Amino acid sequence: MDDPFRHDRRQVLGGMLAAGLAAAAPGSLAAQTKPRGTVTIWVGSWWAPQVPITQKLWEADYPDVKLAFEPLPINGYLDKFTTAALGGTPPDVIDLDSTWVSTVAAKGLLQKLDDVAAKLDVSDISQAVWLAGRFKDAQYAIPARGGPEVYYYNKTVFDRAGVPYPTAGWTHDDLLQIAQKLTIKGEQYGIGVPADASDPSNVLSLFCPILWHFGGDFLTKDNKAPAINTPASVKAITYWSDFYVKYGVAPEGTPNFSTTRDLMPLFEANKLGLISSSSNTFDALLQKPNVKWGAVLSPDKINRAGGWTMGVPVGAKNPDAAKLFLAWLCRPEIQAQVMNRFPASLKARKLPPWNASKWDIFVEAEPFARSVPAVAGWFEMQTALITNLQKVLVKQLSPQQAADAAAAEIKKIIAENA
Amino acid sequence: MSLLQASPGRLGGRPAEAPARHKPSWRARWNAWAPGYLLVLPAVLLIALMMVYPVVQTVYFSVNKVQLPSFRTTFVGLDNFARILSNPDTWPLVQRTLIWVVGIVVCRIALGLAAAMVFNARVPGIVWLRVLVILPWTIPSVVGANLWRWIFQTDSGVLNQTLRSWGLESWALNWLGHPDTAMMAVIIAYTWAGYPFVMLLILARMQGIPQELYEAARIDGANAWQQFRYITLPSLKAVLLVALILEIVSGLNSFDTLVIMTGGGPAKATQIWGLEIYKTAFTAFNLGGASALSVLMFIAVLVMFVFYGAANKAAQRQRKEVA
């Protein structure tokens, strides 16, 4: 099959362009391959306000290709994509949470994007989220949104309880104490603990840093065995679940709560003191002038590397134009204008509006960000873990029992995906 | 010869003058029926294809390991079934599915029957009240499920706020966040969304019951309960059986309400068989396992309806003997 990028490279080598113009390649490529048609793009619902500006900028560069965005709610987002992909009707571009890429790639639902990656200045892209788009030494997704996790605090809730706001350098011991001081049962709660398996990434936003802080992990270093039931991991599960089970500093209903659907409304209603989240929440709160809030680095600084990456599904009807779009979106000046969440491009972060001081917190947090394992079957593993974590919250299992049950399931998943 | 002429008595043509005493030959019968069969053949083929192909495909997948995205299959025999039956989570899954189906069938039929009796009254404005009560059925399930999710919120939900304002603090439970109450809460929401359909079915039949029967019963001194027990209920038997079947199927197929309200949680407390099939297929990407689960459900439903058919025939025979 003809590879348009290889064809382009030949022409470049033929003397039309000098080597090293990788960043400018998307534009030149378009001029030569004359892409046409429509590119269907599935994205999270937060993209909705950015769709007109994205289409406008794109049309200026590529008037013959239309971008058709479909913003979707986060709950059940991946299920919708996999259902469509297996049914043979995937979009041309799918925006994926960085924790999903390995699972989807392992099932053969994404095309390799090494040809696109070869044209990009990788040093300009946040490494944590770039690596999350890799699986078995191949690039399957190109990041557009980066952003480590930080903590958001509600000033009204803090003021009502007479508790000083958290500051950088606070610890997990401080977190527990603050959450306890903030809680006035039935009126306001210290911390939001997402635990709904339909929005697993946000569950991990809080859980991962706690797990890593206590020295635990999901898998062993070689990714060949579970490590979730080691003493350190069990200690972390105990700390995490005690917010709800022992101390009651998380709202009632926590076992079924997700960040976007349940915790954010409570935070905005001044009933919740702290939530852990990405730049997603930063932008969402900027839109709520009535909420008095602040953001602070995670306790002990450790956090989960968030981010969203875009892939081209197998079966995409317009893959060439889709790849062109991915390369176009990586241009710093485009990403700076188009994104309403922390961009993955380091150069974009130095352009307006991202060079404003309010975004510095994400730059400060990034060196302490870690990613979840990029292994086959990861999605199943996190579902197994979250289901067992829920069992701790509803007191069906102790942390050790839940960890052992999760480890047994993870071991089986590793074997099945070997 | 036109098709109509060739199909005497079946397609509107005149009855054929067949010999009365002799059984028509195979050829004569074929000549008589063939045009009719030919006419319906495309539709029959289409329906058969639409119904049979997915079933065959599911059965085929259930004895194979299915590799994605090519759907390449490797025969594994009954391995997928053995895994399901040896899984310690399977029996609790069966129990939850039974609780769910029985719960929604009983609640929807009971509420539908009660509502039909109320709205069968002949009073001014009853038509508008009927329209009003049908509204839950017309609301999209996604909207209805989210509505109930907010109602059942522990801290800020309407239900608990109301209970607390009445001084019933101990009744304000963690409805969706606790395994003991989550199933009940979802059954309530699902009942609310579907009982108007049952009500409509029953109401339509109730309005066909001759009033003379009730008048005669009243003259004979029958009280309200006796009228219901000996006139209304027997008259509704057929429609109640239809409602029963439809609601069992609806219960087994239900998906969106459960996904939106609880996602099968907490701790799998509301994960029923249908949801397990979906998650096995699209979260674990195990199409072979999901197909095996589907085949097992298909067999269970088939057995249930065979028993139902046998029981129904026996009841009909009994009624005929009594008559």
B8 touches chain A (CB under 8 A): no
Q: Are residues B153 and B278 in the same domain?
A: yes
Contacts by B150-156 with C-beta closer than 8 Å and gap 24+?
B152/B176, B152/B185, B152/B189, B152/B261, B153/A253, B153/A262, B154/A251, B154/A252, B154/A253, B155/A186, B155/A251, B155/A252, B155/A253, B155/A266, B155/A271, B156/A266, B156/A269, B156/A271
Tell if the CB–CB gap between B182 and A76 is shorter than 8 Å.
Answer: no
Q: Are residues B118 and B255 in the same domain?
A: yes
B133 lies in some domain: yes
Tell if the CB–CB gap between A255 and B265 is shorter than 8 Å.
Answer: yes
Going A388 to A390 to A393 to A395, the CA torsion angle's sign is negative
Q: Are residues B164 and B253 in the same domain?
A: yes
Distance, in angstroms, between B192 CA and closest chain A CA? 22
Q: Which residue has the higher pLDDT, B321 or B202?
A: B202
B54 lies in some domain: no
B110 lies in some domain: yes
Tell if the CB–CB gap between A256 and B265 is shorter than 8 Å.
Answer: yes
Q: Helical H runs in A35-75?
A: 51-61
B214 lies in some domain: yes
Q: Are residues B128 and B222 in the same domain?
A: yes
A317: three-class secondary structure by DSSP:
coil
Tell if the CB–CB gap between A186 and B155 is shorter than 8 Å.
Answer: yes
The residue among A187, A252, A263, A314 with the most chain B CBs within 10 A of its CB, best to mutate, is A252
Within a 10 A sphere around the Cβ of A378, how many other Cβ atoms?
A: 26
Chain A residues whose CB is inside 8 A of the B284 CB are 380, 383
Tell if the CB–CB gap between A269 and B156 is shorter than 8 Å.
Answer: yes
A248 touches chain B (CB under 8 A): no
Q: Is the pLDDT of residue A8 over 60?
A: no
Distance, in angstroms, between B180 CA and closest chain A CA? 10
Domain holding B141: CATH number? 1.10.3720.10
Q: Are residues B129 and B199 in the same domain?
A: yes
Q: Are residues B101 and B223 in the same domain?
A: yes
Report the predicted TM-score, pTM, of the whole model to 2 decimal places: 0.79
- Final residue of a domain: which of B44, B60, B75? B44
Lowest-pLDDT choice from A245-249, B21-25, B177-181, B303-307? B21-25
**Which backbone phi and psi does B83 adopt, to 5 degrees?**
-60, -45
B81 lies in some domain: no
Q: Are residues B33 and B95 in the same domain?
A: no
Q: Are residues B137 and B25 in the same domain?
A: no
Q: Are residues B201 and B287 in the same domain?
A: yes
B239 lies in some domain: yes
B63 lies in some domain: no
Residues A362-390 have pLDDT tens digits of: 999 988 988 898 898 898 899 999 999 99
ipTM: 0.74
Residues A283-310 have pLDDT tens digits of: 889 989 999 999 999 999 999 987 899 9
Strand stretches in chain B, DSSP E: 64-67, 72-75
| Number of domains composing chain B | 2
Q: Are residues B40 and B92 in the same domain?
A: no
Residue ranges and CATH numbers for the domains of chain A are 4-147+306-370 (3.40.190.10), 150-304+377-417 (3.40.190.10)
Q: Are residues B155 and B286 in the same domain?
A: yes
B76 lies in some domain: no
The residue among B282, B286, B287, B291 with the most chain A CBs within 10 A of its CB, best to mutate, is B282
Burial of B251 (0-12, 13-18, 19+ CB in 10 A): buried
pLDDT band at A139 (very low <50, low <70, confident <90, very high): very high
Q: Are residues B216 and B272 in the same domain?
A: yes
**Enclosing domain of residue B32:** 3-44
Distance CA A111, CA A103 (A): 13
